[in-house]
Amino acid sequence: MLSEKLEKALNEQVRIEAESSQVYLSMASWAEGKGLEGIAQFMYNQSDEERLHMLKLVKYINERGGHAFVSALNAPKTDFGSFQKMFHELLEHEIFVSNSINELVHVTLQEKDYATHNFLQWYVAEQIEEEALARNILDKINLIGNDKGGLYLFDRDIQQITANSAAITPQ
């Protein structure tokens, strides 16, 4: 059985994961509108992945005797200025989510809920991967600079990153 404090914290993470899905969906739509099909597909996949993270939490809360809530979400921004700025925001957002997961893990230790602590280790590992991927993408973007040919290749290649990560990421 989940403690009231932990149930509330887990439900807050449900909201964060849902909002993350919306943020990436908005990024996908923006990129698609700019003709950046590879980037758009990458962001659509990120959005889907965040929704799966949310659902995993919802099911866990309910399985442990809690009640998962579907709450109101803050609307994401709709303009990102440039694809470079958008990927900087992606990294910043992943760091925010990592910090949130770390706080949640801290609550599990305070509450001595080792089952939930164990459950959250998947999220800890996932966030390490998400941040590393975002940093790797930013490194590639910095190599491109303002080269239009480089942007074309990057947009095409990021679809490959999406395909590769989808093949190895457990759902």
| Contact yes or no for 120/98 (Cβ under 8 A) | no
Find out whether 50 is annotated in a ligand binding site: yes
37/68 Cα distance (integer angstroms)? 35
Going by C-alpha positions, the residue among 81, 83, 79 that lies closest to residue 141 is: 83
How is residue 54 written in tokens? Answer: 């949310």
pLDDT at 18: 98
DSSP string, 59-96: HHHHHTT--------PPPPS--SSHHHHHHHHHHHHHH
Cα gap 93→20, rounded to integer Å? 8
pLDDT for residue 164: 53
Per-residue pLDDT of the chain (171 residues; tens, 9 = 90+): 999 999 999 999 999 999 999 999 999 999 999 999 999 999 999 999 999 999 999 999 999 999 999 999 999 999 999 999 999 999 999 999 999 999 999 999 999 999 999 999 999 999 999 999 999 999 999 988 888 888 888 988 887 775 555 444 444
Q: Note the pLDDT of residue 167.
A: 44
Q: Is 94 annotated as a binding residue?
A: yes
Domains of the chain: 4-168 (1.20.1260.10)
- Give the pair of three-digit tokens for residue 68: 């998962």
* Per-residue pLDDT at 160: 76
Is 127 known as a binding-site position?
yes
pTM: 0.90
Categorise residue 79: left if φ over 0, alpha if ψ from -120 to 50, beta otherwise: beta
Say if residues 101 and 127 touch (Cβ distance below 8 Å): yes
